[in-house]
Amino acid sequence: MDTEMKCNMSNMWNPKMPEGMDLEITHHPLSMKRVVNLIIAMERLKGSKSGPQLSTEFRDESLLNIIMESLVEERAVFECFSAPKVEYSRTEEGQYSVTDTEKRSLVLVPDSMELHAVMLQEGTKNCKVHLNMSTYVHTAPSVDAKTVALGIKDTNLYLSCHKDGDEPTLHLEPVDDKENLSTISPDSDMVRFLFYKQDTSLNVSTLVSVPFNNWYISTALEDSNPLAMCLEDDERFRTFNIHAMSKTPKMECRSVSADEV
């Protein structure tokens, strides 16, 4: 019976198959070798429809190409890189004289730990506060401004901005180890000491909190009031005249009480 079926199938397919090829149908499990033979036969059958019959010679290279075309899938490979560590790094420090737009100087009131904007007289000008301004570089700058930290000259006090209630407020804080400010991570609480110095004209700048970047250091309309944070629409002075100082001998200054300012 098997022989008869084989002969009948041969007679049916012979006109379309290359010479020396035959097709056998069996119900027995196929080995890998027989599967490969079947693939070869089918490839030759496809080739015989549109051109001359393929040669019976079939090289290993041809078989490899058929298998690779059937089994190999193309995969896109994406290179992953870890994001660089983002931080503020201190680069330099200088001493600066600071006044507001009303030409008022900054004076430290020790009892209240506040800076006041005061119109000083000739006899008290030596009490004017000067600032040590440290400049920082940022690996991923987000605004067109310098990042700075503001310390009071000859002290360990630095200006900071953080929330003391519902709104950001300005503070004076002691920093015992200045090296703690050498590098600052944006997700650390030390970022409260950083401000954006945005120049609006020559030697005229605004000072904006880095963690609260729509809040400005400002002075009141009235004389002898403390510096504070404000929004752009608040009725306060938000610009400062900031000039680099040449190194001069330290001058003595008597303490200024809150009543005097």
* DSSP secondary structure string for all residues of the chain: -HHHHHHHHHHHHGGGS-TT------SSPPPHHHHHHHHHHHHHHHHHHHSSPPPS---HHHHHHHHHHHH----------PPPPP-EEEEEEEEEEEEETT-PEEEEETTTTEEEEE---GGGGGG--EEEEEEEEESS--SSSEEEEEEETTSSEEEEEEESSSSEEEEEEE-S-GGGGSEE-TTSGGGGGEEEEEEEETTEEEEEESTTTT-EEEB-SSSSEE-EEE-TTSSSB-EEEEEEPPP----------TTT-
This prediction's pTM: 0.64
Q: Give pLDDT tens digits for 171-220.
A: 999 999 999 999 999 999 999 999 999 999 989 999 999 999 899 999 99
Q: Which residue ranges make up each domain of the chain?
A: 2-71, 88-244
Q: Give pLDDT tens digits for 131-171.
A: 999 999 986 656 678 999 999 999 999 999 999 889 999 99
CATH of domain 88-244: 2.80.10.50
Q: Give pLDDT tens digits for 8-67.
A: 544 554 455 556 656 565 555 556 666 667 777 776 666 555 545 555 565 666 666 666
Q: Give pLDDT tens digits for 64-99.
A: 666 666 554 556 665 655 555 678 999 999 999 999
